[in-house]
Amino acid sequence: MGKPTGFLEFDRVDNGKRDPLERVGDWNEFLVQIGDQDLQTQGSRCMDCGIPFCHTGQLIGNLATGCPVNNLIPEWNHLVYQGKWREALDRLHLTNNFPEFTGRVCPAPCEGSCVLGINESPVTIKSIERTIVDRGFENGWIVPRMPREQSGQTVAVIGSGPAGLAAADMLNQAGHRVTVFERDDQIGGLLMYGIPNMKLDKSIVQRRLDLLEKEGIEFQTGVNVGDNLSADEVKNKFDAIVICVGATKPRDLKIPGRSLNGIHFAMDYLRGSTSSLLKGEAVEISAEGKNVVVIGGGDTGTDCVGTAIRQGCKSVVNLEIVTRPPKERADSNPWPQWPLIFRTDYGHSEAAAKFGKDPRQFAMETIEFVADNNWNLTGLNTTQVDWSVERPGVAPFSRVEGSETTIPADLVFLALGFLGPDPMLTDQFGLETGPRSNILANTNDYETSQPGIFAAGDCRRGQSLVVWAIREGRQAAEVCSQYLASLA
């Protein structure tokens, strides 16, 4: 633990944020790190709580409880409090391959399960995590780790997002020769193209990729397994395969007017924006001077809002079909579950600062897209919904009569989640999939219906968090190593 009375003496202090009206003028990270001394004080708030739920990594009532990678949070909080940053880094890397990613983009289920958070503000775990690893890079403590032994066995990792990179890292350190195949032109998957630069600067991603490459992992971009590289070729060349391709099939909104010009999937928009930023090229889908509507909340919806503002949109509205969450935990959402409460993310704050109000409208259903004579989008017809009255056989809500309205829109981004991996890949490998098209593999051995082929991350569990992807990549690598050992 930290200081025995720290949680009684000190209030929570978190990372600061750059002024919204300043930061929307660039693509730099919006967080401002607080000083080391302040973080040591924050580390002292970590209690001797007996059972530290912050690192349990369990699902209770289908909601996350604690850190999915089982970070030893009380231990490195205590080391930070003592000023032992190098030791804290070693403890952090025991459980998390990429704390510089989770320290930036993870919603911190650990903090939602902090014992102090039952009746006070929880320990500022995420800020401490980020500072530990950033300090490690700055001081040269993080250097290439070469595998001690070589097994002579080969593994193909398909997909280079957080699950694929975690699996590749663990398999490489176990002594196997690892090749990572990525269908895009950059390694990193979601980390590179799915998360905007203002949340996760791409130099941070590249810094880790360079390290992994120096440690012996081979990366191949522009390789779409199942398309320009057949599944049979991969199976013939490698002793084992780990599939970590994510859940990339977007959920659509099939209502009248869906085919109009100006309606795009959110990830196509975000990917194009980041690609143009990295390459210095003109962006293909620009929100400049346009009325933008984002349908769907969550991180992806927020990222679309923040991106549209930086591109100079005329207005932005974010529609969510669910009701507005409560300010405090509901009785049905007890600690230590992740608290389902109303939060204001960075994009919402930026929209409020620029346009004078929060962009979100809750309990709103889009029923039709409206066009001009040239089939260009001009607006959306919407209605409010009531979740207390169901439409049997149709939806768990009813439309509120007389609440119809039209929202002006030149661009619509669909941020409605994802359904599963590309079926072309699963078909070629002959993998069994579930009702939502996810690859069938359990969390005991992560093995698919085909021996020697494993699956981890969103392609197996469905759309989830970066930290869950890292956990699954680590665990899949462990059982894959056991499988390879059985072949030796």
As a CATH number, domain 154-247+419-487 is 3.50.50.60
Helix (H, G, I), strand (E, B) or coil at 447: strand
Q: Which CATH superfamily is domain 6-138 in?
A: Alpha-helical ferredoxin (1.10.1060.10)
Query: How many CB atoms are located within 10 Å of the residue 267 CB?
Result: 20
Longest dimension (CA), the chain: 71
Q: What is the pTM of this model?
A: 0.96
Q: Domain 263-414 falls in which CATH fold? A: FAD/NAD(P)-binding domain (3.50.50)
Using a pLDDT cut of 70, give the percent of the chain over it. Answer: 100
Cα–Cα distance, 294 to 287 (Å, whole number): 12
Please compute the mean of the pLDDT values over residues 363-391 and round it to a whole number.
Answer: 96
Cα–Cα distance, 388 to 160 (Å, whole number): 43
Q: Do the beta carbons of residue 371 and residue 145 sit within 8 Å?
A: no
Residue 412 pLDDT greater than 90, yes or no: yes
Write out pLDDT tens, residues 209-243.
999 999 999 999 999 999 999 999 999 999 999 99
Q: List the domain boundaries for the chain.
A: 6-138, 154-247+419-487, 263-414
Residues with Cβ < 8 Å from 236, sequence gap 6 or more? Answer: none
Cα–Cα distance, 113 to 338 (Å, whole number): 7
**DSSP E strand boundaries for 415-478:** 453-455
**DSSP E strand boundaries for 159-314:** 177-181, 218-220, 240-243, 263-265, 291-295
Query: How many CB atoms are located within 10 Å of the residue 423 CB?
Result: 14
Please compute the mean of the pLDDT values over residues 162-171 and round it to a whole number.
Answer: 98
**DSSP E strand boundaries for 171-290:** 177-181, 218-220, 240-243, 263-265
Phi, psi of 472 (to 5 degrees): -70, -40
DSSP 3-state percent helix, strand, coil across the chain (nearest 5): 35, 15, 45
Give yes or no on whether 6-138 and 263-414 have one common fold. Answer: no
- Enter the tokens of residue 100: 């510089």
Write out pLDDT tens, residues 458-468.
999 999 999 99
pLDDT of the residue at 424: 92
Residue 441 pLDDT greater than 90, yes or no: yes
Residue 1 pLDDT greater than 70, yes or no: no
